[in-house]
Amino acid sequence: MPETVIDIKDLHKGFGGQAVLANVTLKLYKGENLVVLGKSGSGKSVLIKCIVRLLDCDSGTINVLDQDVNALDGEALGTLRKKIGFLFQSGALYDSMTVKENLEFPLRRIRKELSQAEIDEKVMSVLTHVGLSDSMDKMPSQLSGGMRKRISLARTIVVDPQIMLYDEPTTGMDPVTSDEISALINEVQKKYKTSSIIITHDIECARGTANRIIMLHEGAVYLEGTLETFEQSADPFIKSFFK
């Protein structure tokens, strides 16, 4: 039985009386890419924000690396977050910093033992991995959308996280760039041995990256299985996604 890195049980989250997540139960196993599919507004982004406690859930348990996230205090939560990489939908690069400074920012705080030479080497390594080693001195405003997403991915993997959370990694990208991002996600899985949850409504991204898929519908788990399970399903809602 593979090791469980994230274990979510009966998760509930609502806003203003409206339930966004209702009774969600799922597991993420070590080394896998778990894709969470669903329509816009089905609660996918809320789910991964609850995992890192950017949002507090209303009820339920979330265990990450055998720690109950909801029970952790500030310092312990910070220590856990250092093991998780989060790729935001918009990239969330810091506008006032160059690409190099963006990558150094988490590295200086999470890997305090590294010297400046080691930091420079690590930054160059991940930038080369995402194919943007010549962008070091550029500001985020000088980058295209695809380049910003790749730099954001570089900033996330520079600290060697154990778990990666991707929030709509290919949204707003053209098909070629989307394929490049999906390929990068698989390379990150292989090279850094990460366990990942990928939130998307992009079927091609799901096809390119998923080891296992969970579909959310109206805040609950609708179906769970492999890509074949979904592609061969006769359910009209599933078929509408995979046509």
Partner 1 sequence: MNNNNPVIKIIASLADTKKHTLRISEKTIEKTRLTKQFLMELAEYCLFAAAVFRATFSRDFEFREFMRQCFQIGYKTLPLISVTGIIMGLVLTIQSRPALVNFGAVSLLPGMVAVSLIREMGPVITALICAGKIGSGMGAELGSMKVTEQIDAMEVSATNPIRFLVVTRVLAATLMIPILILYADGVGILGSWAGANLKGDVSFVLFFSQAFSHIGFHDFIPAVVKSFFFGGVIGFIGCYKGYNAGRGTESVGTAANSAVVMASLLVIIVDLIAVQITDMM
Query: With contacts defined by CB under 8 A, how many residues of the chain interact with partner 1?
Result: 22
In this structure, are residues 165 and 86 in contact, taking their beta carbons and an 8 Å threshold? yes
- When asked if residue 78 is in the footprint of partner 1 (CB under 8 A), the reply is yes
* Nearer to partner 1 (CB atom), residue 99 or residue 159: 159
* Nearer to partner 1 (CB atom), residue 24 or residue 84: 84
Q: What are the two backbone dihedrals, phi and then psi, of residue 211, each rounded to the nearest 5 degrees?
A: -90, -30
Q: Which of residues 93-132 bind partner 1 (CB under 8 A)?
A: 93-96, 105-106, 109-110
Copy the structure tokens of residue 233: 């399903």
Copy the structure tokens of residue 2: 């593979």
Site string for partner 1, 18-57 (x = CB under 8 A): -------------------------------x--x-x---
Instruction: Please tell me the distance from the alpha carbon of residue 10 to that of residue 220, in angstroms, as a whole number.
Output: 10
> What residues have CB less than 8 Å from 17, skipping those under 6 apart?
none
Closest CA relative to residue 85, chosen from 17, 152, 156, 150: 156
Site string for partner 1, 135-174 (x = CB under 8 A): ------------------------x---------------
Distance of CA 109 to the CA centre of its chain: 20
Instruction: Please tell me the distance from the alpha carbon of residue 148 to that of residue 136, in angstroms, as a whole number.
Output: 12
SS percent in the chain: helix, strand, coil, step 5: 40, 25, 30
Q: Which of 4, 25, 67, 89 binds partner 1 (CB under 8 A)?
A: 89
Q: Which of 30, 82, 212, 217 binds partner 1 (CB under 8 A)?
A: 82
Q: Which of 29, 88, 222, 242 binds partner 1 (CB under 8 A)?
A: 88
Binding residues for partner 1 (CB under 8 A)? 49, 52, 54, 78-79, 81-82, 84, 86, 88-90, 92-96, 105-106, 109-110, 159
